[in-house]
A = this chain, B = another copy of it.
Amino acid sequence: MSKINKRDLQRPSGFPDLSPVQAIAIRDATSIIREEYELAGFSPMTTSIVERPEVLTAKNEGEILNQIYGLRLLNPASDAQDDSKELALRFDHTVPLARYVATLYHELEFPFRRYAIGPVFRGERPKDGRYRQFTQADIDIIGNGSLDLLHDAEMVAVIARIFTRLDVGTFTIRIGHRKVLQGLLQAVGLQDEVLQAKALQEIDRLEKIGRKNVTKNLCDIGMSEVNAEALLQQLETTSLDTLTDLATENSLLREGIEELSEVLHGVEAHAVDSAHYQLDLTIARGLAYYTGTVYETRLDSNPGLGSIASGGRYENLTGAFSNHSLPGVGISIGVTRMMKRLIQAGIYPADRKTVARVLVAQATTSPKTRIQALEVAAMLRQQRIATEVYIDSARLAKQLQFADRRGFTWVVILGIPDMEPGHVAVRTLATGEEERIPIKLLPTKLS
């Protein structure tokens, strides 16, 4: 068989492997996210990774259209009915959800709530070093015709429980509102929607480029310096009360303030620790997409990670797919990106190389000790203790080195010549301590 050359064995950039250490850590975190989604009554609903290109492009515009991967058969058999031009990889979980809900509208019970955890694909330019395959963990609630605002509050409670359990330090969920933001722009005289969009883009960069630069840029798109400064001051408020005067004159702003107040009341009722969230009127998120509440989440110790859980309320999920009005609210956690960064920054522990804590080894080997090793492992597994057996012949020192490098906690050693019958040695790797105990006490000792 001809060898392929080394260059061809290299990973294409943006499609990383997860080593056992990373995979164990990410699996643990994903389990927590899944458990919390389920605790809040979200059930899994899993769409295929492959959608029709028409579905993926129907509602979207801009950059994402250049990032969608279609499929093609590498070597189509001559007789194959090759339909691969009708196949493409999803770039998020929202479009597939919209397609699913539009197609099964008459069979679903609303509000329809589901979670989705799985890979999505985006053809970012490889030189940018971004992930091109990554796992997203989403929840959404979809209403039929209308959807109560208190669902928006629930999202905050779910995010708070997840990051409390992930134990990655203090975090802040920022809650904003598109109507309040847009209303404030109107209140300072920015009526034109194109100019509003430009202003929102600038406001989105407040943290990155600072207030002074944003003021300047707002002036560049036609605002007076007085208005720009007034706007930024209003956006930086931490209480909705300060905006009430402006709201009497602007119905969009009034509506936004009322909605946001209701959501904040709901967050309180959900018993979310007030240290975990704050009003932040500067967050805009997907400009064309969200229409009400918007969320971002930052780690207080590491705001540079960017938002680790984001989302918001959208007026209609299925615009391009159905004539029904299906408002929704949802959040998304970019698991791969977040976890790789949390691990790299030392914020999330990734130190387990094996899920098993016990290795069964042999000091001397014989057909009898080999069989005994399997029997001991079978007994421990019967007691739900994850166990690996070193059955290949090797000196004990090599087996202990293997155990150490792989990160086991205990080694159970069989085949020690002077051992009492029915006994084994248990070595605790961290201390090097070794103890001889009856085999039947192993489950107690090792749990």
Q: Which residue of B lies closest to A87 (CB)?
A: B12
Q: Do A391 and B151 form a contact, CB below 8 Å, given A76-B66, A319-B1, A371-B269?
A: yes
Interface: A71 (CB within 8 A): yes
Interface residues in A65-108 (C-beta closer than 8 Å to B) = 65-77, 80-84, 86-89, 99-100, 102-103
Interface residue? A223 (CB, 8 A)? no
Q: 0/1 per residue, A345-386, Cβ < 8 Å to B?
A: 000000001111001000000000011101101110110111
Docked Cα-Cα span, A11 to B48, in Å, equals 9
Min CB distance, A12 to chain B, in Å?
Answer: 6
Chain B residue nearest to A100 (CB atoms) is B17
The reply to whether B109 and A406 contact each other, CB–CB distance below 8 Å, is yes
A131 to chain B, nearest CB (A): 10
Is A271 located at the chain interface by the 8 A CB criterion?
yes
Interface segment, one of A140-148, A212-220, A290-298: A140-148
Chain B residues near A393 (CB-CB < 8 A): 148
- Shortest A433–chain B CB gap in Å is 22
Q: A320's contact among B1, B40, B75, by CB below 8 Å, is which?
A: B1
**Pairwise interchain contact A321-B391, C-beta atoms closer than 8 A:** no
Interface residue count on the A side (C-beta < 8 Å): 125
Q: Which residues of B contact A9 (CB under 8 A)?
A: 52, 55, 99, 102-103, 321
Interchain CB contact under 8 A, A15 and B321: no
Is B8's CB under 8 angstroms from A54's CB?
A: yes
Report B-chain residues with C-beta under 8 Å of the C-beta of A59.
1
Per a CB cutoff under 8 Å, which of B3, B271, B356, B382 touches A378? B271
B354 touching A50, Cβ below 8 Å: no
Say if the beta carbon of A445 comes within 8 Å of chain B: no
Report whether B371 and A266 are in contact in the complex, using a CB–CB cutoff of 8 Å: yes
A143 to B71, CA, bound (A): 36
B42 touches A355 (CB 8 A): yes
- Main secondary structure, interface of A, reads mixed
In the complex, the chain B residue whose C-beta lies closest to that of A370 is B150
Chain B residues contacting A74 (CB-CB under 8 Å) are 53, 57, 65, 68-70, 88
CB <8 Å contact, B12 and A392: no
In the complex, what residues of B have CB within 8 A of residue A269's CB? 371-372, 374-375, 378
How many Å from the CB of A357 to the closest CB on chain B? 9
Which of chain A's residues 30-46 have a Cβ closer than 8 Å to chain B?
38-46
Give Cα distance in the complex from A41 to B47, angstroms: 31
Residues from chain B with a CB closer than 8 A to the CB of A405 are 109
B378 touches A43 (CB 8 A): no
> Is A416 among interface residues, defined by CB-CB distance under 8 A?
no
Please give, as numbers and ranges, the residues of chain B lying within 8 Å of A111 by CB-CB distance.
392
Q: Are A66 and B57 in contact (CB under 8 A)?
A: no
Q: List 24 A-B contacts (CB under 8 A).
A: A4-B320, A8-B52, A12-B52, A12-B87, A18-B44, A19-B45, A23-B43, A38-B386, A39-B385, A43-B355, A65-B75, A66-B75, A66-B76, A66-B77, A66-B80, A72-B72, A80-B123, A113-B388, A148-B392, A150-B370, A269-B371, A269-B372, A269-B374, A271-B379
